[in-house]
Amino acid sequence: MTQDLTRDIAAMIGSRICHDLISPVGAISNGVELLAMSGVGSGPELSLISESVENANARVKFFRIAFGMASSGQMTSRAEIAGILKAVSTTRLSYDWTPTEDLPREEIKLACLMLMCLETALPRGGVIKIGYTNGQWQVRASAQRLEPAPDLWARLGSVTAPQGLKPSDVQFLLAPMQAAALGRRITHSSGDGVISLLA
């Protein structure tokens, strides 16, 4: 099985799962909204459910971009990706999406996978800044405490077999595959409280 076919199969599975999840999550969101409007449900419990549903909805949308199909010529608007990242931000971890233009979905997919790689090094949270200049992504994580796993970061330079890779770290396999599909390679560097990925 070729690398491209493996990547496409993984993307189709990701798209299918996200497609099937988005409808019930949306239905729950609508139900919570109707409860709030009717006055039957109110208080901290309903607020907690509402916030959780909004976060789940945003995460499914994010995963659909990161793990789903990205057809050639398909575009993703700045408003869409910035809105998704704002919705999945937490009090500990936030994202700063700086590109001002709409970009091809396959480019956004790479950025999302790189972003997910950086998240693993931020156990106590931090800020991830995403930039795109002259056809190159610059994704940088900054935090008081960083915990990068050397064996995972070594995978980013080339596409390697997933031996010993945990499902929670699948982005370290998919990111270099997506970069290679775009004719690029991911490099990383780190300094005092900062890790940067370029591709």
pLDDT single digits (tens) 150-187: 889 888 988 877 678 898 999 999 999 999 999 999 99
**Whole-prediction pTM:** 0.86
Do residues 59 and 21 lie in contact, with contact meaning Cβ atoms separated by under 8 Å? no
Q: Is the pLDDT of residue 145 over 60?
A: yes
In the chain, domain spans: 1-198
CB count in 10 Å sphere of residue 43: 7
**Mean predicted lDDT score pLDDT of the chain:** 88
Do residues 127 and 136 lie in contact, with contact meaning Cβ atoms separated by under 8 Å? no
Could you tell me the fold of the domain covering 1-198? Heat Shock Protein 90 (3.30.565)
pLDDT band at 3 (very low <50, low <70, confident <90, very high): low
Higher pLDDT, 72 or 110: 110
Do residues 169 and 120 lie in contact, with contact meaning Cβ atoms separated by under 8 Å? yes
Do residues 174 and 186 lie in contact, with contact meaning Cβ atoms separated by under 8 Å? no
**Tens of pLDDT along 69-101?**
988 889 999 999 999 999 999 889 999 999 999
Dihedral of the alpha carbons of 182, 185, 191, 193, in degrees to the nearest 10: 40
SS3 assignment, position 125: coil
Percent pLDDT > 70 in the chain is 93
> According to the model, what pLDDT value does residue 162 have?
67
Mean pLDDT of 123-145: 96
> Torsion-angle region of residue 58: left (phi > 0), alpha (psi -120 to 50) or beta?
alpha
